[in-house]
Chains A and B, each alone.
Chain A
Amino acid sequence: MSTVLQSLSTALADAVESAGRAVVAIHARRRIPASGVHWQPGVVVATNHTISRDENITLTLPDGTTAPASLAGRDPSTDLAILKLAGQSLPAASLRRDGPPKIGELVIALGRPGPSLTASWGVVSRADGPWRTWQGAEIDSLLRLDLAIYDGFSGGPLVDAGGRVLGINTSALARGVPVTIPVATVERIVAELLERGNIRRAYLGIGTQPVRVPESLARKLELESDLGLLIVSLESGGPADRDGLLLGDVLLELDGAAVNDPSDVLAKLGGDRVGKPLSARVIRGGQVKALQLTPGERPTSRAA
């Protein structure tokens, strides 16, 4: 009788079952285990915030057996972590690489907060271009979800109705709102973490706040924009401090581009900028001054 409804029901359960063969439980924090995805042979992708210890990490595999895993690297700025798993013949996830899903696409969030697989369903509520996390990492596309978050959600995969992985879910990158880190970003981070063990990011050691330059001063200095970034904190001995930036300077330009928002600074601080001088223009003592700022490599788990 109800044929389409039944086939949809079976198709969803099949998608869960097939994708679930690559979803593991990760025991690396107190109480409830988190989820992870067997991304490529021997490599499990998880979320950084759900791994609270570096050692003594075990996994519960889909067949219910337990296996030890070692932490191969973390990237707090994308909330991803990589674990290595040896000597298991677990199928790897089937990845969907043809770009992000569409708004309204039916999706399933899988988790394994223990021996059993769990799922919630919903739709992609937003699918936009690249965005930057508050710690400065670039994520290839913004995927927001309209679905229920539950224990084990973070680190689990978002899959399409065919069971193909669209990315890794986390509730820790956007104030508790569920987002998915897309496949393209995960692959980039996995490759770099496997090679180096951490993600290289440039930093200046400054804290800034947008300010409006008084109109008279802007006119006097012939500024194109009256917006700038007030230096409100300066890491002692950090890259910007060493290069002579002072508290109270108003940063106008970096690398030839106007900076109106702290994210404009982060945009200039990719991993390839470490040790390469950036030209800067600041207002100091009512005058415009040119400086050279050379970003250093950001120590792990520290803000921009």
Chain B
Amino acid sequence: MTDSMTADLAQEVAAAVNQLRHITVQLRTQGAATGAGILWNAAESDGREGGLVITNAHVVQGDRATIELSDGTAVRGRVVARDSKRDLAALEFEPGRAVVGAVVRDSPPLRVGELVIALGHPGGLAGAATLGIIHGAESEREGRTPRWIRADVRLAPGFSGGPLADATGRLVGVNTMMQGGLALAIPALAVEAWVRRAHTMALS
């Protein structure tokens, strides 16, 4: 790799991280930072009018949380769906302006070794990023979405509920926990299906 390629790479990583910051929110309960969340394209998936944030169920313990957007504005969020078994929660909020949500990667399937970027708020530090690779894509047998994406990225508390994105900035997973030095993320496609189901259930 030439000098200019290394410089380009550094700039591109910075640009990709900056772009991901806009879809990453920080969640607070009674003033204390509890983790991260992802702005979801709610209108696209189910015609919802308000804003929607997806995070881990363990990040929002109660019914309400403060959502801090990337520009620093804080809005009140209300938990509209929670699934402790899958460790997912959805919060609704009144954005007050147009917000752009994450773009989910539908295809191609993840390859082991692909670069991934994780964003979160370790120790309340807003918008921290780590770079890693896909460690293992649990085999997608019979077209079923794997339960976890395993990534070789080092996450700290505060990354929970935040995005795991590919080299083009598309969302591939929701960072959930560390296990044996590896990060486990819920696949974005599984989250997308869960959001749709959660909404259907809420309507019926």
**Using a CB–CB distance below 8 Å, which chain A residues touch chain B?**
1-6, 8-10, 12-17, 20, 108, 115-121, 147-151
Contact = CB atoms under 8 A, between A and B. Distances in A.
Contacts of B12: 2-5
A211 to B, nearest CB: 42
Interface string B118-160: 0000000000000011111111000000000010101000000
A13 B115 CA distance: 8
Q: What are the nearest 7 A-B pairs in CB distance?
A: A16-B113, A9-B167, A9-B115, A13-B111, A13-B113, A118-B136, A5-B12
Contacts of A120: 133, 135, 152, 182
A166 B182 CA distance: 23
13 contacts: A2-B12, A4-B12, A5-B12, A5-B13, A6-B168, A9-B115, A10-B114, A14-B113, A117-B136, A118-B135, A119-B133, A120-B133, A151-B180
Contacts of B154: 148
A13 B137 CA distance: 12
Contacts of A116: 112, 136-139
A177 B147 CA distance: 31
A150 B135 contact: yes
A119 B15 contact: no
Nearest to A152: B136
B9 interface: yes
Nearest to A5: B12
Contacts of A115: 139
A15 B113 contact: yes
B103 interface: no
A3 B168 CA distance: 9
A12 B5 CA distance: 16
Contacts of B150: 118
Given A116-B138, A117-B136, A118-B135, A6 B152 contact: no
A12 B181 contact: no
A14 B111 CA distance: 9
Given A116-B139, A148-B181, A150-B180, A4 B133 contact: no
A85 B133 CA distance: 32
A5 B7 CA distance: 11
B16 interface: yes
Contact of B16 (A5, A15, A108, A151): A5
A2 B136 contact: no
Contacts of B114: 9-10, 12-13
Given A5-B13, A118-B136, A119-B135, A13 B180 contact: no
A166 to B, nearest CB: 16
Given A119-B152, A151-B180, 13 more contacts: A1-B15, A2-B15, A2-B16, A9-B115, A16-B113, A117-B136, A118-B112, A119-B135, A120-B152, A120-B182, A121-B133, A148-B152, A149-B181
Nearest to A147: B152
B166 interface: yes
B83 interface: no
Contact of B168 (A2, A13, A14, A121): A2
B106 interface: no
B8 interface: yes
Contacts of A16: 111-113
A150 B166 CA distance: 22
A147 B182 CA distance: 11
Interface in B1-34: 5, 8-9, 12-13, 15-16
Given A6-B167, A8-B167, A150-B182, A119 B112 contact: yes
Contacts of B168: 1-2, 6
Contact of A12 (B15, B115, B138, B180): B115
Interface in B180-197: 180-182
B180 A20 contact: no
Nearest to A2: B12
A121 B132 contact: yes
Nearest to B146: A116
B90 to A, nearest CB: 30
Given A2-B16, A5-B16, A6-B167, A17 B181 contact: no
B111 A17 contact: yes
B113 A17 contact: yes
A119 B5 contact: no
A4 B182 CA distance: 26
A108 B135 CA distance: 10
Contacts of B167: 2, 5-6, 8-9
Contacts of B112: 13, 16-17, 20, 116-119
